[in-house]
Amino acid sequence: MKKLLVAVLLTVFTTSFFAQEVEQTKEIQKAHYNISKFKQLHEELPTPNNEHRASGAPGREYTQQQVDYKMNIVLDEENSKIFGEETITYHNNSKDHLDYLWLQLDQNMRAPGSLTPEINGGGPDVMYAPAKFAKTFMGKPFQGGFNIEYIKDANGKDVSYIINHTMMRINLPKPLASGETYVFKIKWWYNINDYIADGGRSGYEPFPDGNKLYVIAQFFPRLAVYNNVEGWQNLQFLGRSEFALEFGNYDVTITTPKDHILNATGVIQNPKEVFTSAQYKRYEDSKNSFDNPVFIVTPEEALAAEKGRSKETKTWKFYAENVRDFAFASSRKLIWDAMAVKLNGKTVMAYSLYPNEGNPLWEEHSTRVVANTLKIYSDFTFDYPYPHATSINAQRQGMEYPMICWNGGRPNKDGKYTDRTKSGMIGVITHEVGHNFFPMIVNSDERMWTWMDEGINSFVEIYAEYIYDPVLFPLIDHPKNIVRYMSGDQSGLEPIMSQGEDLTDFGSNAYGKPAAGLFILRETVMGHELFDHAFKTYAERWKFKHPTPADFFRTMEDASAVDLDWFWRGWFYTTGANDIGIKEVKKYYVTNKPTERAENMAKRLWNDG
């Protein structure tokens, strides 16, 4: 009995001793939720289905809506108004019956009583000049926003609708069944804003001589996206988070003053009618100019045109196939140069339109930058499928639409410019032309997930800029630029996986951090071969479709066999940053002589054998 008692006490003592020793070296975890930074993302990602598969690819039941537009547009330069009549054909390709349709009225952010200034405004800036303060807060407010004259069905019958700020609901007379189409017509007009004074992605830039350069976008009522992920994407447009749009075909006529030069989404259907004979010949000849840009409209022609004010008009006709939006630029001040780009046997046109104020910087670089961007982005994704990509010089702009974009950057009045001006102009053109791939073709939901177009686009932009000018754009600069943001005050940071309107530092969160993360994946974690194959697979799978973040994350892993869940969680779902430091220092003695334990184990293995 005594022996048994001694044995029990010895066991208890030994167990207690070792337990205390373990406690000293490792804190015992109590029951807890799995907080491992390396656990899989299954809990965060949506459950796969037959539309969005577990591999990240579109499923066999994937569908999306189609919306076709036929529009007649009139640009009234004298009164700075735009008038439009559009016929919309909505194709319900979903499995659902729809009781109503939602349209976007982006111009209503400038309408009297708009919610946008109340939500985004911060009151007067202490640095406001007296004149600007008086104009902004004491003058008569700009009378912006859509004026809807009527909405009728295909038979001319009035259609019931209701407007909620930047969204308009069309109440259908009966549910629109799966596979059916609905045709309706809208007549509207609005006052065009001076975007230099009032801001915005669309409007006109005024010049001292009274001329205006119009960059017209978000200018017509257009359908919101309907899908199986969110239903209707009808979040209000507050001016920052951009757009979610359906693909469709556009048949558009635009009537302008006769002395205007204009380009738009799509292909000009009547070039002989809108160009002079000399300009038309240059337009055709430019399709064979692969080495250098050539003029379609010369600086001298633009200079002569801007001195007049034609009272006559002309009508430009455009057709665009399988695009998600439509925009155009128009002015009598515009020079137009062009260069052909060969992409795997297909010819695509790179265009630039700019006033004389943009030279010599624009003549030297813009179209070459467009061509370079198309080549590099095509290498990373897929061959650019549209017939042209156009860069428009509009001061204080940087905005993208299918086949056309607005870009700032001009030299001084004496024509001189700094490297900073040059790099800024090259950077904005590369970025905005790159948006033709993300989100104009890989058509993500900008309103919800800003990073899916801005961040991914900014990543490819890094390489396109470097290849264009490695001195101005060294690769080594990029990851370090995000360090200050990521290591800052956590109370001012949000995860990348946040809706665009919720971001404190919009640029760093939606552009810089995702771009830096993808750069790190390519250059260190995955390597070029695995990353490039996976990235191209994502682009190919989702071109002309609507991907979600889960589709991107899953495809990158599916096509590379690299487990990246830890990276997506840390970089995209949290605001954490690596904090590398020395926690403690211990001294160890290392010998190449076998220990007694190792010798005994070797003997046992030898004897067992």
Q: Are residues 278 and 391 in the same domain?
A: yes
CATH of the domain at 99: 2.60.40
Please check whether residue 468 is in contact with residue 371, taking contact to mean a CB–CB distance below 8 angstroms: no
Asked if the structure places residue 208 within a domain, the reply is: no
Q: What is the pLDDT of residue 419?
A: 96
What's residue 285's pLDDT?
A: 98
Of the candidates 309, 405, 422, 301, the one whose C-alpha atom is nearest the C-alpha of residue 360 is 422
Position 13 in a domain:
no
Q: What local confidence, expressed as pLDDT, does residue 208 receive?
A: 96
Reported pTM = 0.89
Question: According to the model, what pLDDT value does residue 584 have?
Answer: 84
214's tokens: 């119009």
Residue in 287, 437, 417 with CA at minimum distance from that of residue 363: 417
101 and 169 both lie in a single domain? yes
Q: Same domain for 285 and 405?
A: yes
**Can you name the residues that pair with 84 across neighbouring β-strands?**
73, 188
The model's pLDDT over 469-496, given as tens digits with 9 standing for 90+, comes to 999 999 876 778 888 888 888 888 999 9
SS3 of 269, please?
coil
Same domain, 158 and 306: no
Give per-residue pLDDT as tens, 91-107: 999 999 999 999 999 99
Query: Residue 563 belongs to what domain range?
Result: 467-573
Which residues, 6+ apart, have CB-to-CB distance to 73 below 8 Å?
82, 83, 84, 219, 220, 252, 253, 254, 255
What are the tens digits of pLDDT across the range 339-389? 999 999 999 999 999 999 999 999 999 999 999 999 999 999 999 999 999
For the chain, the average pLDDT equals 91
**Predicted confidence (pLDDT) at residue 6 exceeds the cutoff of 50:** no
386 and 258 share a domain?
yes
State whether 260 and 226 are in the same domain.
no
| 110 and 234 in a common domain | yes
Query: How much of the chain, in percent, has pLDDT values that exceed 90?
Result: 77
Write out pLDDT tens, residues 21-53. Answer: 445 555 666 676 777 888 899 889 999 999 999
Note whether residue 321 is domain-resident.
yes
pLDDT, residue 557, reads 98
Q: Is residue 296 part of a domain?
A: yes
The pLDDT value recorded for residue 602 is: 59
Cα-Cα end-to-end distance for the chain = 42
Residue 356, both tokens: 């004389």
User: Which pLDDT tens digit goes with each residue over 550-603?
Assistant: 999 999 999 999 999 999 999 999 998 766 667 788 877 666 776 667 666 656
Is 20 inside a domain boundary? no
What's the pLDDT score for residue 142?
A: 85
- Complete DSSP assignment for 185-227: EEEEEEEPPBHHHH--SSEEEE-TTS-EEEEE-S-S-EEPPEE
* Separation of alpha carbons 564 and 264, rounded Å: 41
Quick one: pLDDT at residue 107? 97
Kindly tell me the sign of the dihedral angle through the C-alpha atoms of 533, 537, 543, 545.
negative
Q: How many CB atoms lie within 10 A of CB 380?
A: 16
Say if 75 falls within a structural domain.
yes
Query: Could you give the CA distance from residue 197 to residue 132 in angstroms, rounded to a whole number?
Result: 9
Count of beta carbons in the 10 Å neighbourhood of residue 335: 24
Mean local confidence (pLDDT), 230-256: 95
Per the CB < 8 A criterion, the answer to whether 107 and 186 are in contact is no
> What are the pLDDT digits (tens) for 287-338?
999 999 999 999 999 999 999 999 999 999 999 999 999 999 999 999 999 9
Residue 27 belongs to a domain:
no
Q: How far is Cα 403 from Cα 408, in angstroms, rounded to an integer?
A: 17
Q: Is the pLDDT of residue 205 over 50?
A: yes
Number of domains forming the structure of the chain: 3
pLDDT of residue 252: 99
Let me know if residue 35 belongs to a domain. Answer: no
- What letter represents residue 446's amino acid? E
The CATH number assigned to the domain holding 499 equals 1.10.390.10
Say how far apart CA 590 and CA 602 lie, in whole Å: 20
Strand partners, 69: 88, 250
Q: Which residue has the tokens 């000009």?
A: 268
Q: Are residues 485 and 436 in the same domain?
A: no
DSSP state of 392: E
Assess whether 104 and 195 both reside in one domain: yes
Express each pLDDT in 116-157 by its tens digit. 776 766 555 556 667 666 666 667 788 999 999 999 999 999
Structure tokens given for 450:
């800003």
Residue of 433, 441, 352, 444 lying closest to 400 (CA atoms):
433
The least confident of 71-80, 113-122, 140-149, 230-239 is: 113-122
pLDDT score recorded for residue 16: 46
Asked if 77 and 161 sit in the same domain, the reply is: yes
Residues 287 and 316 in one domain: yes
178 and 283 housed in the same domain: no
